[in-house]
Chain A
Amino acid sequence: MTTTPRRRGSAAAAVLLSAALVLAACGSDGDAAGDKAGETHSVTADNGTIEVPVDPQRVVTIGNTTLPFIDMGGEPVGVTDVSASELGLIPEDQRTTFEAGTSLGASADQIDLEQLAGLEPDLILAQFPESEFEPLEKQLGSIAPTVFWGLGTEWKAFADGLAQAGNLTDGLGEQKAEFEDKITRIQETYGEIIDDTSFVNLDRWASSDPGTFSIADFGCVEIAQDDIGMDFPRAAEGEDPLGWTSLPFEQLAELSEYDVITYPVDAEGRPTEPFAPVVETNTWKALPAVGSGRALGVFCPGNNSYGPVLQYLDSLDAALATLPAKE
């Protein structure tokens, strides 16, 4: 997920979704005791309001639901493939959980429906492109209740919905509290820096043309921007995200106008593989921010669930601590 430019979620959808979830949650309260098997409640997602088991036992995750579901403590019985580089970024125990699930195909459009039916799931959680869902909707629905989100869903609303449908609200609650905690701490510690520093976040992905980079305004940087309040350049309302535009290396020279540059690094602090060519250019080395220690490597293992986001906040915290005082 970190390797992919992610479209910013539509706010309206997120609001609707959250409202629906609150309603749904109210409806299912109060019968915690005893055997929940067979009981259902309704959740609302991009494919409408769905009756799902209160305590699902055999969950299949398709597309982008897999890793966030595991991150919240879920154990899917069937999954679609996740790329090796994404698997490399998650904790060992989560990888074991992933590998315990039966692989149903490379991606949603190539899923083996019969194998999926053979797993006899009681809940299917899915996030993949809308255009692929429509032809599959009926078939998935005939196997088990299916909750679907399109790619545009905002990550917090997505996490809420996933936890609600998958009966993982306890795990989510802990993560949320930790998230709020870290945000507050960063805001308090670096208040001055946050207020009067102009940042710019660069990225490069495996799909980027050779010799190009992007000013990325989606992914983890949205959290630095929206939740912490740091000043990063962003696209005007209604425009495509800046990160969709790949810029040739010669435009690196124009980054001199920013105080601090952030760029993606791996867990060990080295520039990510796709970004390494940028760091090797002479133009990068000649940038004032780079020369004065104001280019910060930040680790972003994913931005679709709280676990990886918490790791990002730790990394951002550590990076900001190294920033030399302003002259």
Chain B
Amino acid sequence: MTALALRRDGPGTVKVPGPRRRLIGLVVALVALLVLLVLSVMIGSTAIAPSVVWDALFRPSADIDQFAIRDYRLPRTVAGLAVGAALGLSGALMQALTRNPLAEPGILGVNAGASFAVTVAVGLLGVRDIGDYMWFAFAGALVVTIMVLALGSTRQGQSPVAMVLAGICIGAVLGGAREALQLTNPEAFDAMRSWNAGSILGRPLEIVWPILPFFAVAIVLAFAVAGPLNAMALGDELAVAQGVRLARTRVLAVIALTLLAGGATAIAGPIAFVGLMVPHVARWIVGPHQRWIFAYSVLLGPILLLASDILGRVVMHPSEVPVGVVTAFVGAPVLIALARRKRASGL
């Protein structure tokens, strides 16, 4: 999905809560996240007693039910936490960078690049293992974002609008090529069907660990550019007057959001909606303060993702619904309700 609106709406007049209430909100979100982490280990498509869950984590044995906790539920919980946080934060970065409330990381070509690379890997190179997809997806996302960054650069530096347009065009071309490759290669099409849905099921910890250092670097970068991005929200000229170096801020922000979104896509496949809506909710709670928006997004992302994942495990029992399918169903009503509020979508 691409966010197509490049026009800015009028500035939002959201009531801005004080620092105290923002902090309380942050603690509430943290507690909610911890509860969801516990629920994510407890709830699954088979009923396992809490005592077995406890034993599986702290008194491991070769009992068949313990494997379900250690091998499946724990890794997917870790994956959900990492992917959710990465998507939430990358969305916040993207919206701050483009000053567009409808921007999401996908429109810089991250998903298009990752999907194209995975399709090539599956269709032409015969790669079949989810652990091998990961590096293709990550590399594809990085290469395409660099291309977008280069094409979106003008003599004056990076223009957010030009970058978004470049992302849409490259995304379209790669998307067509990907589809052509898939429809002429039934096996690639078949193997890509499940990847396209976006899921954190069946991703062992070995897939998640190697991505985490990239996330750590990106989170540090994101908070480092939060201040300058705040200043840029008021306009480039004002920001320059305050000593912000526009080009450097933009490049660092793009690097951070690419690592985050690319890494998340590498682990889970394309999950479109989290990056779009989480920053909205964060902005709705804390007002236009990038650092707070970032902090909230890091927490709200995994809250949405884990809640959707838990819901997806039970709603179609004994089967499961991939989390990428559930997030849009959970998120879209929230987004529509927000859009119906007056001016809630301004930045």
Contacts and interface: CB of A to CB of B under 8 A. Distances in A.
B336 interface: no
Contacts of B130: 210
Interface in A212-261: 212, 245-251, 253-254, 256
B72 A106 contact: no
B184 interface: yes
A96 interface: no
Contacts of A211: 72, 76, 199, 201-203
Given A245-B318, A281-B71, A254 B46 contact: yes
Contact of A212 (B64, B67, B193, B201): B201
A274 B202 CA distance: 13
A98 to B, nearest CB: 15
Interface string A302-319: 000000000000000000
Nearest to A288: B64
Contacts of B183: 106-107, 110
A125 to B, nearest CB: 20
A249 B65 CA distance: 11
A209 B194 contact: yes
Contacts of B71: 249, 281-283
A207 interface: yes
A277 to B, nearest CB: 8
A211 to B, nearest CB: 2
B201 A251 contact: no
A83 interface: yes
A250 B187 contact: no
Contacts of A212: 201-202, 320
Majority SS at the chain A contact face = loop
B128 interface: yes
A244 B128 CA distance: 21
Contact of A207 (B62, B72, B193, B318): B193
B46 A250 contact: yes
Interface string A268-280: 0000011001000
A286 to B, nearest CB: 4
A287 interface: yes
A291 to B, nearest CB: 11
A251 B73 CA distance: 12
A248 B45 contact: yes
A189 interface: no
Nearest to B197: A209
A85 interface: yes
A256 B191 CA distance: 30
Contact of A245 (B191, B194, B197, B319): B319
B199 A209 contact: yes
Nearest to A209: B194
A246 B72 CA distance: 15
A206 B127 CA distance: 11
Interface in A182-213: 205-212
10 contacts: A107-B183, A205-B190, A206-B190, A209-B197, A210-B202, A211-B202, A247-B318, A251-B318, A281-B71, A286-B64
Interface of B: 44-46, 62, 64-65, 67-68, 71-73, 76, 128, 130, 183-187, 190-191, 193-194, 197, 199, 201-203, 313, 318-320, 322
Interface of A: 3-4, 81, 83-85, 106-107, 110, 205-212, 245-251, 253-254, 256, 273-274, 277, 281-283, 286-287
10 closest Cβ pairs, A-B complex: A211-B202, A210-B202, A250-B68, A211-B201, A282-B67, A286-B64, A106-B184, A209-B194, A206-B191, A245-B319
Given A4-B190, A249-B202, A283-B64, 10 more contacts: A206-B191, A207-B191, A209-B202, A209-B322, A210-B202, A246-B320, A247-B45, A247-B318, A248-B72, A249-B72
